[in-house]
Chain A
Amino acid sequence: MMPGKVLRGGVAQPLAIALFSVALAGIATLVGLERQPRQYRIDPPVAAALDDLRLMPTGIGGAPPEVYFALDKPYETSAYDLSQGKRLYSWFGCANCHGDGRGGAGPSLLDGWWLYGPSTVAIAASIRNGRPHGMPAFRSKMTTDQIWQLAGYVRTMGAYSASLAAPSRNDDKHTRPAENRAPAAILFNEEPAPSPSERGPPS
């Protein structure tokens, strides 16, 4: 071996091996982060179990069904489910009241204020059962996993730091930064959001 000729010095070798393996491992991990098996049709028993929201007596928040944890909370972390949620957001007319997420007739979904708590299960309950002051119930219009996909999307659409799984822009008019650009950080970091009391009572 005459590495000195090309490398000048012996430290370069172990360093090189280390860097190369780190690079390969890096590729594997980064891609692994995005590991996202897609399931186009959910098993009916799983869907039934997902419907079993354990809400508090007030109906505001609660605990997700056990199966949600067994599935590793897919609806908040998988790129496919988030993008399906985004599609459902436009298909079911959410934008009619909530606009592009900044609200309109309905409350904003980007500002970090959640009238019924920030948990995904609360949002799923809002979608499924509806809420006073105009939020309709979608129980009879969407399947259970669609409700969860939409809830997962709504829960993360205003993230201050975007996850790698966050959806990108739509092929539409550009009205605000896409989810993977962390719209909340860009839109609302400048000034504090108005408190919810300024926008009317929650119920």
Chain B
Amino acid sequence: MIEDRKRPPLTDDGLDDSVLERHLSQTWSASPGFWGALATVDHKVIARRYIVTAFVFLILGGLLAVAMRIQLAWPEARFLDPDRYNQIFTTHGSTMMFLFAVPVMEAMAIYLVPLMVGTRNIAFPRLNAFSYWIILIGGLLLWISFALDAAPDVGWFAYVPLSGPEYGPGKRADIWAQMITFTELSALAVAVEIVVTVFKQRAPGMSLDRIPLLVWSMLVMAFIVIMAMPAIMFASSTLILDRLVETQFYNPAEGGDALLWQHVFWFFGHPEVYIIFLPAAGMVSTIVATFSRRPIFGYLPLVMAFIATGILAFGLWVHHMFVVGLPRLGESFFTASSMAIAVPAGIQIFCWLATLWLGRPVFTTPLLFVIGFIVTFVIGGLTGVMVASVPFDAQVHDTYFVVAHFHYVLVGGAVFPLLGAIYYWFPKMTGRMMSETLGRWAFGLIFLGFNLTFFPMHILGLQGMPRRVYTYQPELPWAGLNLFISLSALVLVSGFVIFFIDALRSWRSGKPAGPDPWSAGTLEWATASPPPAYNFRRIPVVEAREPLWSRSEGLAVTKGLQVDRRELIVSSVVEALPEARESSPRDSIWPFWAAIATSLMLIGSIFTPWAVVWGSIPIAVTLIGWFWPKGTVEDTS
């Protein structure tokens, strides 16, 4: 590699396009083969893996939901025994929250943020590769334990003392706690990458007020992750310490506090909702603008609403704990703050409606999912305001009303926009269009099936049916609605089946999409579909909020980047003035090894505290390997 240094660096200055592309793809492409695939740090490849993995977990979690619906379809059913039912609802919730919703939103950020801000790779690409392996192994941990009849059975929020050492025998709650540690680790890594990518790697000219709304929402999401995840990391670590080595964090008899668990869990758990919702809001903003064929109405209010949501998200966790017995004044405060979050949510809804109203909307599948989102999310938001009031919450707490509410906000607020986003960005990710006909069927069935499944749960809740019961007696007036819900779930499932068939079929043999099938305005559509390993031939210069709409004769571009090593532009935080050419790390297998070593330590710590001591040695070895200078050209500046 020494001879490389003697040669003058080769820049893109004056190279013609085909020569430039050849050099760039040689520099940026991953090595072929199995090991090249394990070592790649290309944000698009990793994001694709993340998305596929998350959707596999969605299918698995969905199958668990189907199992629960079969069990609850009629009174005193014997399809599942109570112990298996406990494991199923816990694994369903944990999978959907930690292995599907959060990772899939992060994955969309990993894929889209570098493209939308016009850079060649995400910041800290090796950390990105590491984060994927970590979440994959965390998911395997949960699902292997489920297959072995040893899955957590303490609910997705694992309240002590139920999950504590006295009442949670075996290793089930420990598996839950360490699965959480895996997902937090991965989420924190991704969050840091997103913040740095957005702040320091934007294309020249993309000042803060020209950042696409999706990128804004991902940025706020990343900050929420950074502030919220340490709370749950504390919670899961102290829980496992209590269980394994007799610490007394949650033991009231020794000065601990069981309520502490609820506070630290929900201090993370409520922002978690916005970690899932804000990226969806960004997706909605993008899709609405593109298909209304006009810039988004109220860019500044929307950005402010995102940020306000991110801040308020940390001020309302106690509304999950209203019936636990807290001071009245505290409850009133958290009622007020919970209702206050309806304000930024309302601003967002009205901005989207105004965009639709003022534009000439084209009702393609992505926009249909957005309309579905607006309807279901508003219903979920309204029941949210209802349960924010203490007297009402005291009545419906732990009933199916709450189940209905959070499925409306989570499925309505995140899954609908996500499916729309998949239809919208699928052409970019694969180079092929998804089917519009199947898309409409999928939307129709999912929308109908979802509402028929979950709306009656409000009524069941008001009739007093509690959550998390594995069966109910025939004398209770719940059987009819439960059967109806279970049948409606079939409609919902058939919608998802069509969606997955469409996705798989289109991936193989969809209509070629071309670089910009929707005539959209943001930068990711300025490159080929799917984008080459280096994203952009030349880094664009941004002069407007929708760079592709404001210029008819093509984007202005920068020049002077080196092409014989991985290099990208670092720009200033506010105005995105170019500051430096910075190298971007090469592929490396070490993040994979580091993830394996970390996993061995974390899983070992379920069984013995010594795993932390001995497990730190392989981690140290892999980290040394990771950071050891390899003498590549990227190391030299």
The yes or no answer to A11 lying at the interface (CB within 8 A) is no
CA distance A4 to B150 in the complex (A): 41
Q: Decide: A3 and B35 in contact? CB cutoff 8 A.
A: yes
Given contacts A1-B32, A83-B169, A171-B250, 17 further A-B contacts (CB under 8 A): A2-B33, A3-B31, A13-B35, A28-B148, A30-B606, A31-B175, A35-B149, A36-B170, A79-B170, A80-B170, A82-B169, A83-B170, A168-B165, A168-B166, A168-B243, A170-B165, A171-B165
CA distance A34 to B243 in the complex (A): 15
Contact indicator per residue, chain A 163-185, by CB within 8 Å of chain B (1) or not (0): 01101111111100110110000
Which residues 1-46 of A have a CB within 8 angstroms of B? 1-3, 5-7, 12-13, 16, 19-20, 23-24, 26-28, 30-32, 34-38, 40
Q: Decide: A177 and B246 in contact? CB cutoff 8 A.
A: yes
Contact indicator per residue, chain A 142-179, by CB within 8 Å of chain B (1) or not (0): 00000000000000000000001101111111100110
Given contacts A5-B31, A173-B254, whether A34 and B150 have CB atoms under 8 Å apart is: yes
Residues of B within 8 A of A169 (CB): 165-166, 242, 246, 251
The yes or no answer to B20 lying at the interface (CB within 8 A) is no
CB distance from B628 to the nearest CB of A (A): 11
Pick the contact of B251: A7, A30, A83, A171 (CB < 8 A): A171
CA distance A30 to B169 in the complex (A): 16
The yes or no answer to B372 lying at the interface (CB within 8 A) is no
The yes or no answer to B471 lying at the interface (CB within 8 A) is no
Q: Decide: A19 and B31 in contact? CB cutoff 8 A.
A: no
Could you list 12 A-B pairs, sorted by A, with CB under 8 Å? A2-B32, A6-B587, A24-B140, A31-B171, A36-B170, A80-B169, A83-B166, A169-B246, A171-B161, A173-B254, A174-B248, A180-B244
Pick the contact of A31: B148, B165, B167 (CB < 8 A): B148
Residues of B within 8 A of A16 (CB): 35, 38, 589, 593
User: Among the listed stretches B276-284, B301-309, B488-496, B595-603, which one makes contact with chain A, having 4 or more residues with CB under 8 Å of it?
Assistant: B595-603
User: Please, which residue of chain A has its CB at the minimum distance from the CB of B632?
Assistant: A5
Q: Decide: B83 and A31 in contact? CB cutoff 8 A.
A: no
Residues of A within 8 A of B607 (CB): 30, 164
CA distance A160 to B147 in the complex (A): 32
Q: Decide: A2 and B246 in contact? CB cutoff 8 A.
A: no
Q: Decide: B166 and A170 in contact? CB cutoff 8 A.
A: yes
CB distance from B247 to the nearest CB of A (A): 9
Query: How many of A's residues come within 8 Å of B, CB to CB?
Result: 44
The yes or no answer to B252 lying at the interface (CB within 8 A) is yes
The yes or no answer to B158 lying at the interface (CB within 8 A) is no
Residues of A within 8 A of B253 (CB): 171-174
Binding site for A on B (CB under 8 A): 31-36, 38-39, 81-83, 140-141, 144-145, 148-150, 161, 164-167, 169-171, 175, 242-246, 248, 250-254, 258, 587-589, 593, 596, 599-600, 603, 606-607
Given contacts A34-B170, A38-B83, whether A6 and B144 have CB atoms under 8 Å apart is: no
CA distance A45 to B403 in the complex (A): 40
Given contacts A7-B35, A168-B244, whether A27 and B165 have CB atoms under 8 Å apart is: no
Q: Decide: B149 and A181 in contact? CB cutoff 8 A.
A: no
CA distance A20 to B588 in the complex (A): 17
Pick the contact of B140: A19, A27, A32 (CB < 8 A): A27
Which residues 65-101 of A have a CB within 8 angstroms of B? 79-80, 82-84
Q: Decide: B31 and A167 in contact? CB cutoff 8 A.
A: no
CB distance from A166 to the nearest CB of B (A): 10
Q: Decide: A6 and B246 in contact? CB cutoff 8 A.
A: no
CB distance from A161 to the nearest CB of B (A): 11
Q: Decide: A2 and B36 in contact? CB cutoff 8 A.
A: yes
CA distance A16 to B594 in the complex (A): 12
CA distance A62 to B245 in the complex (A): 36
Q: Decide: A34 and B171 in contact? CB cutoff 8 A.
A: yes
CA distance A83 to B83 in the complex (A): 15
Binding site for B on A (CB under 8 A): 1-3, 5-7, 12-13, 16, 19-20, 23-24, 26-28, 30-32, 34-38, 40, 79-80, 82-84, 164-165, 167-174, 177-178, 180-181
CA distance A165 to B81 in the complex (A): 22
CA distance A79 to B264 in the complex (A): 28
CA distance A23 to B170 in the complex (A): 21
CA distance A28 to B141 in the complex (A): 8
Residues of A within 8 A of B244 (CB): 168, 180
CA distance A34 to B253 in the complex (A): 29
Question: Which of B32, B589, B599: most chain A Cβ within 10 A?
Answer: B589
Nearest first, the 6 closest Cβ-Cβ pairs linking A and B are: A168-B165, A83-B169, A79-B170, A1-B33, A3-B35, A79-B169
Q: Decide: B587 and A167 in contact? CB cutoff 8 A.
A: no
CA distance A193 to B31 in the complex (A): 66
Q: Decide: B31 and A27 in contact? CB cutoff 8 A.
A: no
User: Please, which residue of chain B has its CB at the minimum distance from the CB of A28?
Assistant: B144
CB distance from A20 to the nearest CB of B (A): 7
CA distance A2 to B33 in the complex (A): 8
CA distance A49 to B140 in the complex (A): 40
User: Please, which residue of chain B has its CB at the minimum distance from the CB of A12?
Assistant: B589
CA distance A1 to B32 in the complex (A): 5
Residues of B within 8 A of A177 (CB): 246
Residues of A within 8 A of B588 (CB): 6
Q: Decide: A171 and B164 in contact? CB cutoff 8 A.
A: yes
CA distance A51 to B252 in the complex (A): 39
Residues of B within 8 A of A80 (CB): 169-170
User: Please, which residue of chain A has its CB at the minimum distance from the CB of B31?
Assistant: A2
Q: Decide: B166 and A171 in contact? CB cutoff 8 A.
A: yes
Q: Decide: A35 and B148 in contact? CB cutoff 8 A.
A: yes
Residues of A within 8 A of B164 (CB): 171
User: Please, which residue of chain B has its CB at the minimum distance from the CB of A32?
Assistant: B148
Question: Which of B148, B245, B607: most chain A Cβ within 10 A?
Answer: B148
Q: Decide: B35 and A27 in contact? CB cutoff 8 A.
A: no
Residues of B within 8 A of A38 (CB): 83
CA distance A180 to B170 in the complex (A): 11
User: Please, which residue of chain B has its CB at the minimum distance from the CB of A79?
Assistant: B170
CB distance from A51 to the nearest CB of B (A): 24
Pick the contact of B31: A6, A23, A82 (CB < 8 A): A6
Residues of B within 8 A of A6 (CB): 31, 35-36, 39, 587-589
Given contacts A6-B39, A168-B243, whether A1 and B31 have CB atoms under 8 Å apart is: yes
Q: Decide: A165 and B170 in contact? CB cutoff 8 A.
A: yes
CB distance from B134 to the nearest CB of A (A): 13
CB distance from A143 to the nearest CB of B (A): 19
Q: Decide: A23 and B587 in contact? CB cutoff 8 A.
A: no
Residues of A within 8 A of B606 (CB): 30
CA distance A30 to B600 in the complex (A): 11
CA distance A16 to B242 in the complex (A): 35
Q: Decide: A178 and B165 in contact? CB cutoff 8 A.
A: yes
User: Please, which residue of chain A has its CB at the minimum distance from the CB of B588?
Assistant: A6
Residues of B within 8 A of A23 (CB): 596, 599-600
Residues of B within 8 A of A79 (CB): 169-171
Q: Decide: B83 and A40 in contact? CB cutoff 8 A.
A: yes
Residues of B within 8 A of A180 (CB): 244
CB distance from B585 to the nearest CB of A (A): 12
Question: Which of B141, B164, B165, B253: most chain A Cβ within 10 A?
Answer: B165
Residues of A within 8 A of B245 (CB): 181
Residues of B within 8 A of A27 (CB): 140-141, 144, 603
CA distance A36 to B148 in the complex (A): 9
Given contacts A3-B33, A6-B588, whether A167 and B149 have CB atoms under 8 Å apart is: no
CA distance A83 to B170 in the complex (A): 9
CA distance A50 to B157 in the complex (A): 38
CA distance A23 to B167 in the complex (A): 30
CA distance A26 to B258 in the complex (A): 33
Given contacts A7-B35, A35-B149, A169-B166, whether A164 and B171 have CB atoms under 8 Å apart is: yes
